[in-house]
Every structure is written in C-alpha cells, then in structure tokens.
Amino acid sequence: MLSPQSSHQPRFLGTGISAFLFGLVLAAVIAAPSSAVAQANQTSLQLTSSVSLLKFGWVAVGSTETQLVILTNTGSSSVNLSSLAVNGEEFKVVGAGFPKTLAAGATTALNVTFTPTATGWVSGQVTVSSNASNPNLSFPIHGTGVRKDPVTASPAALSFGQVSVGTTADLNVVLTNHCLCTQILSAVQIAKGGFSLPGTTFPITLTRGQTVTLKVAFTPTASGPVGGNIMVDGPYVNIPLSGTGTATTAGGTLSVTPGSLNFGSVILGTTGTETSSLTASGGPVTVTSAASSSGQFSISGVSFPLTIPSGQSVSFGVVFTPTAAGNASANLSFSSSASATKTTEALTAKATSPYISLSWSPSTSQVSGYNIYRGTSTSGPFARLNSSLNTTTSYTDNSIGVGATYFYATTAVNSSGQESSYSNMAEVNVP
C-alpha cells in the first residue's frame, strides 16, 4: 500500500456559487369591483364609490391584502369629507388622510386592508361621512381567512403607475404551486377598468413546484386612477391591480440604446448588469411604465413615470438574475406618450452552473492517477466523485449545493491498483 502523501494536499481555487432566493409571498386577494356605486341612484348622488361591495376572497391567516377603492365627487361644488369609520376589526383603511376637501370632479383613493386572524368568513363596512347630498356613503366588505395558499403569486400585486390613455403597459406575474399535489387553474376572472390577460389560455395544470408566468396588460380608456384584480379559479389566487390613466400629450419620439444587450455567461446565484439609456428627440417624452417578458431580467436605477426633455437621455441598469442553467432571452418594452407602439430592447444571456475547482500537488511516489473524495464532515462518510481514475492534478465539482459545507480529500493509486489513505482535507463553505 502507498503511504499518505501530504505533498498532494488539495487546495481550494474558486467557486461558482448558486444562491436561489425563494419569496413565498401570499397572493393578494381582491374581488372584481362592481360597476355600480354604493347607492342605487348614481345620477342623484354627489359622492360615489367605485364599488358597491368589496370582496377580498381567500386570504391566508396573519397576512394582509389591500384593495383600492376610488371615491368621486360628481357634483359641481366641493365636498368636505369629515370622517371615515370601519366596522370590523380585521378590516382597516390606510392613509385616508381625513378630514379632507374633495373638489368638484375630483377623486380620492382608499386603501382598504384585510388581515384575518382566524379561518372563516368575516364581514364589515366602510362609512364615509361628509356634507355631500348623500352624507353617509357606505359599502359592505367581506373576506375569508384560510390556513395557507397552495398557489401564490409573485409579485403579490401589480401597480402599472401612470399610463397614457389608449396605450398599453404590460407586467408579468408568476404563479407557483407550493402544494404536494397537482393544482388546476380552471378559469380566470378579470375586473373591468382596462385590465386584460392577453395570450393566456385556461385551464392550466401546475405540478408540485411548477410555475407559470402570466402577462397582464393595462390599457386605460380614461384619465384617473383605476383599481381591479385577477381572480384565478381552482386554488383561488387573487392578484390586486392598480393603475392611473393619463391624458395623451404631444411629444417627440423615444429610443433605447443599445437596441439589444448580450450579458454573456453569468453563473447561477450571481447577477449580471448592463447599462442602457432612453433618449427623447423632437419633443419631451413621458415614459409611463416598463416591463420585461422574463422574470430573469429586470430594470434598476430608474422609476416611472419619467419625463425626458427633448434631446436628453436617462441611463438605467438592466439586471440578469438567472434561475436555471442555459440560454435566456427577453424583451424590455417601454410605454410612453411618444407613440401607442412600445419601444423595445432585446436581451440575451447564458446562465452557467456553479462549481468548485480543486487542484493539488502531485504525489512524490510514482502513481497512475488520483481519486477525489467528498464528505460533509471531517469524519465522513466520503464518496468518490470521479468515475474513472483522474490522471491530472485538478478536478472540477459541478454537483454542489447551496448553503452546504464540503470536505475534499484525494488519494493516490499506483499501477497495481493500490490506493493510499486520504490526504489532508480542504474545506469549502458554499453560502
């Protein structure tokens, strides 16, 4: 037998580390607002609500979901909103800022939240007191607390920001099945207000851990804030939607530079960043929103809506965060006042698997090759990684896991097949 050779002590050269981030965000739950107002005779009312009944649907116990309600002064004189009352401990109105004055034709938004403390159906009511012709405007609210959502949405809610009337802004939402069993998304209901789900066909079957990306579009038909939701039947996933229609203004043209970006190779668990810029020419341009066709690509360093003066440019970052090895591609699309047609930028990248690279000094005895062993503690057990004798003094381990600690050792094998004991160990911590 060969004796252990300390001269082929392995050393750690480098790692490619994968760090997957799991965001289990409970799906925001909100029902489609009714087109009716809180009172039966809308034309006779000075103060109206965008809903007559606010439904939160199914919300996980301990989580909070929010729905947007719009109050409108339809009269010809100002209205003083003196107070707001909420009946029901699990319901609240956040950031209302009462008392306040609402000018003729103006609107104000109420963010109504539901935080169930136990499973089961609960109800409440919101009442707004004012000096309007209908001094007490009220609408009922209800929701159901559930233990957990088998299918969740990320992000939990979509906000489109300001979008020019007649143009369309797109955002993506990813649905994930966390249940051990298969979930069938049987159908979908979409609130009115210019929201739609283009290119998606139901039913959709999700196996355990499987995801599906839905593209949601917002095409406002009038100026002003709009609230709505997507309700997916089956596991009952609710996704709140909000956006504001803005009047189309004359302006110039919008261009993005470069027209395409290639990130090259990016190791899983890391990110790659490139820089692009938006330029307005022939007049000012208001960029209302931006969307990526893939969740692996995102925009950083800029927020929307954004007005760019004529002849000027605004830089922004494009970030590639790979989730699986292989080639990836997407399109960035920018909605603006320049045109109903979106300005786009093509994106490509390649995600590579993580690895640990080892090398060691050759044995001082004559050997035919080496075996490489790996364990998760200094006491073992150790498993051989190479399927055949390694005749070099280096090795790349492509089968590492996230958050693990590995201990590596090598052995030398002579021409008779005799193998030495383990060398000294190299320890590698993978974040």
Location of structure tokens 């000012």: 284
Q: Quickly state the pLDDT bin for 17 (edges 50, 70, 90).
A: very low
Instruction: Give the C-alpha separation, 322 to 146, whole Å.
Output: 33
Question: How distant, in Å, are the alpha carbons of 65, 112, 316 from that of 301?
Answer: 28, 30, 5
**What is the signed CA dihedral for 351, 354, 360, 363, rounded to 10 degrees?**
-100
Residue with more model confidence, 136 or 226: 136
Q: Which region, left, alpha or beta, applies to residue 43 given φ > 0 means left and ψ of -120 to 50 means alpha?
A: alpha
Q: What is the mean pLDDT of residues 66-73?
A: 90
Sheet holding 47-49, edge to edge: 47-49, 65-73, 107-114, 91-94
CB atoms < 10 A from the CB of 189, how many?
Answer: 12
**What is the signed CA dihedral for 328, 332, 333, 338, rounded to 10 degrees?**
-150
Tokens of 237: 């996933």
Helices (H) and strands (E) in the chain, counts: 0, 35
Q: Quickly state the pLDDT bin for 373 (edges 50, 70, 90).
A: very high
Question: How distant, in Å, are the alpha carbons of 32, 196, 240 from that of 97?
Answer: 25, 32, 22
Instruction: Enumerate residues 6+ apart whose C-beta is below 8 A from 12.
Output: 356, 357, 358, 426, 427, 428
Q: Residues 150-247: name the CATH superfamily.
A: Immunoglobulins (2.60.40.10)
What percent of the residues of the chain are helix, what percent strand, and what percent coil, each to the nearest 5? 0, 55, 45
Domains 6-15+354-429 and 24-148 share a fold: yes
Domain range annotation of the chain: 6-15+354-429, 24-148, 150-247, 253-352
Predicted TM-score (pTM) above 0.85: no
Location of structure tokens 């390649």: 350
Q: Quickly state the pLDDT bin for 44 (edges 50, 70, 90).
A: low
Number of residues written out for the chain:
431
Output the CATH code of domain 253-352. Answer: 2.60.40.10
Tell me if 381 sits within 8 A of 375, measured CB to CB. yes
Q: What is the mean pLDDT of residues 226-243?
A: 84
Instruction: Give the C-alpha separation, 423 to 291, whole Å.
Output: 53
Q: What is the pLDDT of residues 263-309, one digit of tens each?
A: 999 888 789 999 999 999 888 888 989 999 999 999 999 998 888 98
Q: Quickly state the pLDDT bin for 58 (edges 50, 70, 90).
A: confident
* Fold of the CATH domain 6-15+354-429: Immunoglobulin-like (2.60.40)
Q: What is the pLDDT of residues 106-148, one digit of tens each?
A: 899 999 999 999 888 999 999 999 999 999 999 999 988 877 7
Output the CATH code of domain 24-148. Answer: 2.60.40.10
Location of structure tokens 């997507």: 230
Q: Quickly state the pLDDT bin for 332 (edges 50, 70, 90).
A: very high
Closest CA to 358 of 385, 380, 326, 321: 385
